Structure 1
C-alpha cells in the first residue's frame, strides 16, 4: 500500500477551561458553590474574602468580572503570557450590558457557555417552609455565614444525659443507662434488646451475661421514665403504650392500650368494624381511644431532630412591589470576594511592559500570571452564574404571576423550552439553573423546577398546569367528608365537572406524589 497525504475539513466543538468551569459552577447548589469557593481560597493566593465590603457584597466581584470580560480565551493565547494591567482589578461598570443591580458584565455574550447538550428531564418538586426571615435579613454590618449551622439545640442523647445527672444512681446503674442511650436509633427506639447488648458485651461468660442483662433491664426502666415519653421503646406499639400509660385512667385509655398492643394493624387500615368486634368497644368509645392514640408521638426523637439540616437558603427572593413583583438575589448567598491587591501589584512589578518577566525575576512570573487569570475567570463565572439565575427567575415570575397572587391553584403550564427561547439560552442551561436553586415566595420556598409543569387539556380548549391540578386535588381531599372519602374515580369526575380532563390513574399518581393516602385509609369512624 502506498502512503498518501489527504486534506480534510471538519468542524468540532471545543470547550475552553473557562467555559467548562462556567458550566460546572452553574449547576452547583448554594452549598456546593460555597465549598468550591473555599477550595479556591485555599489553592489560589490571588483570591481573598473581602472583609471590608462596601455598599454591596458583590461590588468588588463585579469589578473583577468586568475586567476579565475583554480577556482572550485560553484557546487563543496562553493565560501565562498575557500582559497584566494593574487597573484591571478596579474597573468600574462601563457601557456594557446591565446585570445584577446595574453591574456591568462587559461585552461577553451570555450564550458563549452553551454546550449543546440535550434537555435534561426532571420530575422533582421540593417545597420547604420559607426561611427568608433568617437568611435575607440585614446583619448590621456583621459577618454572616448562611451555611453555618446552629448547634445550640440539644440532641436527644444530650437531653437524656442531662436528666440522668439529676438522678441518684450508682455508678454501675448510671453506666448501664448511658449504654442504652448510646444504643438508641434515630427514632428514639432501642435498637437492641438488653439481652442482646449483654451477650455482645459479656461474650461466653454466662454468669456475667445474666448479671449484665438484669442490670440493663433495670436501666431500661430508668430510661423509659425520662422525658420524652416513649423513648427506649422496642417498636411503635411499645412506644405508644408507654405514652398511653401516663394518661389518666379511663375506659378509653384501656381500649387504646389494647389496640396498640394487639390490633394496631386494624387501626392503620381503618377497619372499624373488626376493631369494634375485637375490642368490644362501641363507636363512641372507639373514637375516644383513637383520639388518645393520635395525641401520642410515634417517634420520640423527632422533636430533637436537627431542623437546621432541612433548612433551604433561597437563592432568589420574590416580594410584592406595587402592582407587580420584585425579583432580587439573596445577598446572604452571594460571596464577598476580591483580588489580593498586594500579590497582584507584586506580580506587576515582576513583569515587563509586554508581560515578559524581568531579568532576574525568576521563572515563577508566568505561572503566577496564570493563577491571577484563573482567579479573575473564577470570579467572572460566579458573577455570570448569579446573573443567569436572576434572569431565569425573573422570566419565571413573569410567566407565573397567578401563582404569586393566588397560590399553586393558579399555576400556568410551563416548560423549559419557553424560558430558553425567551432568554436565548439552551434548555440544558435552564435545567442546570433550576436544579437545586430555590426561590422564596409569599407562599413558601420552592425549587425553581417547581414552577414548571406539564399541560392538561380543558373543555374550554385551554390548558391547565399539572401543578394546579395537584393543588385542586389537595383542596378537594381537604374538604371531603371523612366518613365517605373521595375515591380516585370521584376526584377524576369532579375535576371533569370543572372542565379539566384527568384520568383516574393520573389522579392516583398525583395523589401518591403528594403523599395522600387512598380513600380506604382516609376513612374516619
Structure 2
C-alpha cells in the first residue's frame, strides 16, 4: 500500500453564510427600533444610500397590504368549534366602526392643526416639559437646610450615594464610618435624622425599620404595632389568629392595624427617577374591511393588514451619483464604489424582503386566529410554528425570527406575534383547546370566587372537565403559579381579612 499525495476533484453542496446573508437574517429577527438604528449607521457609512424624503402621501409605492377573508364555515375543524364558555369580555362588533381607526384623518384633526386655526398644531408629546427633580437632588436640598456642619454634610452625601432605588440603605453604620474615617455614632445620628426626610422612611435597613419610622412620624407606633412589625411573616401568610395572640388585640383592632400598614409606603424611594414607559410601535396594522353578507345572511368581514409606514425605513440608491463618480474615478475608487453599490442594493432588497415576509406570516396568523379577533381569548386556537411555516412555505426558524419582537395593532389591542402561538390541551370529546384560553378561564374562575366558596385545584379541574377540557391537576397548579395566583388556602386567608 503506497502512501503519497494525490489530487482529486470533488463536487459538494454546502450552505455558505455570506455577510449579506447574515445581514438579512439579522434584519429579519430585529425589532423596528433596531432596524432603524442599523439603517442610520448604514446611511453614515455608505455614500450611495440616501433617505427617501418624499412625503408619505406622494410615495410611488404604497406599503404592502394583505386582505384576509373570513374563514369558510366548512374550514373550521373540531379545534376551532370547541370553545370555552363565554365570559364577561364583550365581543367585537364588526358593524360598529366608531372605535376602529381607518388610517384617514378626519376634517380638522389632521397633523396640520385644527380647522379653526386656534391650535398651535403640536401634540402633547411635542410640548416642552420641565424635567422633574431626582431623589438625590431633593435630598441634597434637605441636607443643606438640616446640617450646617460641612462634615455632617459630607457624611449625608455619602449616605445619599449609597441609597438603592427603593430607598433602602443596607450598609451598617460601622462600615460606613470605617470607610469615611469617622465615628459610627455620628453616622447613626445623621442617618436617624435623614430617615425623617421627605419622603419619610428612607435610609432604613429593612422593611420593618422603614414602616416603624413612618408610624413614629404619625405617632402610631404603640406596643401592639411594634409586635405586628416584628411578625410580618405571619401577616404575609394571613395568619390572623397568630397575630391576634402575639399583639394581644382582637380581630377589629387587628383589622385597623393592618389597614394602617396598607396606607404606608414600603418603598418610599421607588416613586422617583422612573423613566417613562416606551410605547410599543406596532409593525403591522390590522383593521376590518367593509362588511359583506356571508353564508346564511350573517354579517362577516375581511381583515385588512398593512405594514406600519412609521416603522418602514425608506431608502434610495444613488444610481446617478454612482454612474457620474465612476467616470473620473481611479481603480481603487471604482472598487470602493462597486462594493458600496452592491451593499446598498442588498440592503434595500433585504428590507423589502423583510417587510413582505412579516406581512405574509402575520396574514396567516390572523387567518388561523380569526375567532380570537371576533370573539375574544376564549376562542384562541392552538397554534405552533410548524403550522404557519407549512402554510407560508418557509422554515420554522424563519417564522420564529419573523415573530420575534414584532407587534400587531388589532381592534382588540396590541399583541406580540408570539402571543398567538400556544400549545394544545386535549378535550374529553377529542377536540383541542388553547393553553392560553385555559389560563384565561382559570383566572376568570378565581376572580369570581367568594369568601365562602374558594376553589381548590381539584375543584378547578372538575369544573374544566365538565366544560370538556381534559386537564391534569398538576397542569392547573402550573398555570395558576404562572398567573401568580396563590393557593386556595392562601386565597381563603386573604378573603377572610376585612378590607
Q: Which range, TM-score by smaller chain?
A: 0.7 to 0.9
Whole-angstrom CA distance in 2 between matches of 1:162 and 1:324: 61
Deviation at 1:54, TM superposition (A): 1.4
Distance 1:162 1:445, change over 3 A: farther
1:306 aligns with 2:274: yes
State the match for 2:177 in structure 1.
198
Equivalent in 201, 206, 212 of residue 241 of structure 1? 212
Report if the CA contact (8 A) 1:255-1:281 is conserved.
yes
1:329 aligns with 2:331: no
TM-score (norm 2): 0.76
SS in 1 for 2:358: helix
State the match for 2:13 in structure 1.
11
Provide, for residues 48-103 of structure 1, a one-character-per-residue CA deviation record: whole Å limited to 9, x for no partner: 444x341259x5xxxxxxxxxxxxxxxxxxxxxxxxxxxxxxxx65xxxx96259x
Provide, for residues 377-423 of structure 1, a one-character-per-residue CA deviation record: whole Å limited to 9, x for no partner: 11221232233222222222222233334433332111111211222
Deviation at 1:477, TM superposition (A): 1.6
State the match for 2:379 in structure 1.
410
Deviation at 1:189, TM superposition (A): 0.6
Report if the CA contact (8 A) 1:256-1:293 is conserved.
no
Deviation at 1:168, TM superposition (A): 7.0
Distance 1:282 1:443, change over 3 A: farther
Whole-angstrom CA distance in 1 between matches of 2:21 and 2:466: 52
Deviation at 1:166, TM superposition (A): 5.9
Report if the CA contact (8 A) 1:256-1:292 is conserved.
no
Distance 1:30 1:499, change over 3 A: same
SS in 2 for 1:446: strand
Equivalent in 498, 509, 515 of residue 467 of structure 2? 498
User: How do residues 99-498 of structure 1 correspond to structure 2 at under 5 angstroms?
Assistant: 100-101=64-65, 152-164=131-143, 169-202=148-181, 209-210=182-183, 213-247=184-218, 249=220, 255-260=224-229, 262-308=230-276, 311-319=279-287, 322=290, 323-339=301-317, 341=318, 344-351=319-326, 361-482=330-451, 485-498=454-467
1:520 aligns with 2:489: yes
Whole-angstrom CA distance in 2 between matches of 1:317 and 1:159: 44
Whole-angstrom CA distance in 1 between matches of 2:137 and 2:286: 39
Report if the CA contact (8 A) 1:153-1:306 is conserved.
no
Q: Which stretches in structure 1 are left out of the alignment for 5+ residues? A: 60-91, 103-132, 203-208, 353-357
Whole-angstrom CA distance in 2 between matches of 1:241 and 1:314: 46
SS in 2 for 1:363: helix
Report if the CA contact (8 A) 2:199-2:268 is conserved.
yes
Whole-angstrom CA distance in 1 between matches of 2:138 and 2:352: 45
Distance 1:183 1:466, change over 3 A: same
SS in 2 for 1:302: coil
Deviation at 1:444, TM superposition (A): 4.4
Distance 1:168 1:335, change over 3 A: farther
Mean CA deviation greater in 170-179 or 26-35:
170-179
SS in 1 for 2:259: helix
Deviation at 1:433, TM superposition (A): 1.1
Whole-angstrom CA distance in 2 between matches of 1:239 and 1:176: 20
Mean CA deviation greater in 188-197 or 298-307:
298-307
Provide, for residues 225-267 of structure 1, a one-character-per-residue CA deviation record: whole Å limited to 9, x for no partner: 23333222211222222333344749xx86444312x101111
Distance 1:223 1:140, change over 3 A: farther
Report if the CA contact (8 A) 2:196-2:213 is conserved.
no
Deviation at 1:499, TM superposition (A): 1.4
Mean CA deviation greater in 440-449 or 265-274:
440-449
Report if the CA contact (8 A) 1:163-1:226 is conserved.
yes
Distance 1:482 1:229, change over 3 A: farther
Mean CA deviation greater in 492-501 or 479-488:
479-488
Report if the CA contact (8 A) 2:361-2:399 is conserved.
yes
Deviation at 1:289, TM superposition (A): 2.2
Distance 1:143 1:519, change over 3 A: same
Distance 1:166 1:419, change over 3 A: farther
Deviation at 1:459, TM superposition (A): 2.4
1:510 aligns with 2:479: yes
SS in 1 for 2:346: helix
May I ask how many residue pairs the two structures share in their alignment?
432
Whole-angstrom CA distance in 2 between matches of 1:255 and 1:43: 70
RMSD of the alignment, in Å?
3.5
Whole-angstrom CA distance in 2 between matches of 1:317 and 1:198: 59
SS in 1 for 2:382: coil
TM-score (norm 1): 0.72
SS in 2 for 1:351: helix
